[in-house]
A and B are shown apart, each in its own frame.
Chain A
């Protein structure tokens, strides 16, 4: 089973999360600049003495596709790297993925996700 992780994190957490994922052998990812807000509904800003609610807060979204058995490790790494304990740390969604196709070679499924030195190969080596 292949899964997709959508992780919405702070902009300044991106470097730590990327490094953490690379360290455990997850390299491929898509990164989006997004705006939004969670339960807090935004933050208060001010302009010339008048306050207003800023509810389109900039965040970073990472999309990672990976095998089922690696999801827990990846989530644990992301949370550890991105958590500050303050509101606005972010949220992670996990979806099932129907199929994966590598365009260059035509490989499908698990083969399309594999590459030398990745998380599954490291597990095998141990």
Chain B
């Protein structure tokens, strides 16, 4: 029954006030979370959310690769980029994570005691009793981890490890998707699937563990006095150079696309079919990188906060500088004297790759410098690969391999010794590069470069040679010419039968598999 005015509200309002105050009184009498709990929760939440951003980079890679290749292969290219996540997730869950981080809690507690809750993975909470076994180890020098297979051994209730796994998996997947770009348009899908398992289960965890899992490269500071050991904040080396090395090995073994190089040595352009996709993909990658780099602090409390904030700003600056440098380089010095969209895009990505290692350890001037150089390196590398007759349709090797190296080296040059990195890898001092008086850091960085080149590049070369020998690597020439979509995927990426099958004036015809691609 409606009453005049608002008198009818009185009773419900009084009831609600009583409810909240009583609840408040009761709650205040039970104990809430401690400061340490809150710090750990903040760190775990930060890790999870930035991990989600990194996952979204898969969309960026898919768009860049598909936009820079021809329309007759879109279904195949997109499928590779999508399934590399799925395959990688399984491979990494099965053994990859265990190989890479199985021993991290064996090595790091000894060095993490410098400051409580300051260095991952202890920032994510107490992991005592987990991730503390190495399969292969020489004293404190770890080679292959051995705990956490299928994420068993009571990990289900340890949020920190769960978040850590997710974060590391999406990083691994970023590395795994890089070779699909270099080998696009002629990679057999079976070979791709096997490559996905190769990267996620073998080559990435092995070498990645040496740097991030407390392995021998990270320990070069403690064991050999080389700076703070190999320092790679978010993975110019671990993610990008590894991915780039696999890509380079794959591109060399699989050979150039048919028609790419003429017998007399000149190169033919094979334009991509959709520049808007390429640009949008780059923007998505840039956005995801704001999870990739800052998130690698694995913490937002204590030094982690400054590491993350500094990383974010440096990421922004280096990406911008890389884009400007590449654009101007092509405009002023390139063969066409125009600001080329394709290479400007690569320049942005090059800057982002190069800042990935040093992002938390340099100031903004360093970040801009690193990005500017990266933009030039990527253009030169593109021309170099062409000179060497290595066909890389999307520029994966110039972006990730060459600038991965530059990123690692730039830590040894530009790291400014700020306090937030003190104690990194168990060495008392902060991470310091040549320009700020640190003479040995660069040697540790070069050790990481050499290890990745030799081990990842070498092993992957053998792996691809093996695949090639059993005819699982390169697609049939006839399929390559007409487009991989129908022979490999069974569907056309861009359907030419859609209108016909759903009613139109023209008579039914079989799918058009003879396509000239885009010209």
Q: Which residues in A have some Cβ–Cβ distance to B below 8 Å?
A: 45-52, 54, 56
Contacts and interface: CB of A to CB of B under 8 A. Distances in A.
| Binding site secondary structure of chain B | loop
Contacts of A48: 269, 340, 342-343, 382, 395
Nearest to B335: A49
25 contacts: A46-B269, A46-B335, A46-B338, A47-B269, A47-B270, A47-B271, A48-B269, A48-B342, A49-B330, A49-B334, A49-B335, A49-B340, A49-B343, A49-B379, A49-B382, A49-B383, A50-B268, A50-B269, A50-B335, A51-B269, A51-B335, A51-B336, A52-B271, A54-B519, A56-B519
Contacts of B379: 49
B272 interface: yes
Contacts of B270: 47
A47 B335 contact: no
B267 interface: yes
A46 B340 contact: yes
B275 to A, nearest CB: 10
Nearest to B266: A50
B386 interface: yes
A56 to B, nearest CB: 6
A50 B335 CA distance: 7
Interface in B248-276: 267-272
A49 B345 CA distance: 13
A56 B518 CA distance: 11
Interface string B385-418: 0100000000100000000000000000000000
Contacts of A49: 330, 334-336, 340, 343, 379, 382-383
Interface string B334-368: 11101010110000000000000000000000000
A47 B394 CA distance: 11
| Binding site secondary structure of chain A | strand
Nearest to B394: A48
Contacts, number: 40
Contacts of A46: 269, 335-336, 338, 340
A83 to B, nearest CB: 28
A51 B267 CA distance: 9
Contacts of B343: 48-49
Nearest to A54: B519
A46 B334 CA distance: 11
Given A45-B271, A56-B519, A50 B342 contact: no
A51 B340 CA distance: 12
Interface of B: 267-272, 330, 334-336, 338, 340, 342-343, 379, 382-383, 386, 395, 519
A32 to B, nearest CB: 16
Q: What 6 pairs across the A-B complex have the smallest Cβ distances? A: A52-B269, A47-B271, A50-B269, A47-B269, A46-B336, A48-B342
A33 to B, nearest CB: 15
A50 B330 CA distance: 11
A50 B338 CA distance: 12
Given A52-B268, A56-B519, A47 B342 contact: yes
Contacts of A56: 519
Given A47-B269, A51-B269, 11 more contacts: A45-B269, A46-B269, A48-B269, A48-B382, A49-B330, A49-B336, A50-B267, A51-B335, A51-B336, A52-B269, A52-B271
A97 B23 CA distance: 94
A96 B334 CA distance: 52
B272 A47 contact: yes
Contacts of B386: 50
Contacts of A51: 269, 335-336
A56 B383 CA distance: 27
B50 to A, nearest CB: 32
Contacts of B334: 49
Nearest to B342: A48
A62 to B, nearest CB: 22
A42 to B, nearest CB: 11
Contacts of A45: 269, 271
A49 B332 CA distance: 12
B278 to A, nearest CB: 11
B519 to A, nearest CB: 6
Contacts of A52: 268-269, 271
Of B269, B382, B386, most A-chain CB atoms within 10 Å:
B269
B329 to A, nearest CB: 10
Of A47, A48, A50, most B-chain CB atoms within 10 Å:
A48
A46 B379 CA distance: 15
A108 to B, nearest CB: 26
Contacts of B272: 47
A45 B338 CA distance: 11
Nearest to A55: B519
A10 B445 CA distance: 58
B344 to A, nearest CB: 10
B313 to A, nearest CB: 30
Nearest to A44: B336
Nearest to B275: A47
B486 to A, nearest CB: 23
Contacts of B338: 46
Contacts of A50: 267-269, 335, 386
Contacts of A47: 269-272, 342
Nearest to B271: A47
B156 to A, nearest CB: 48
Nearest to B383: A49
A34 B382 CA distance: 35
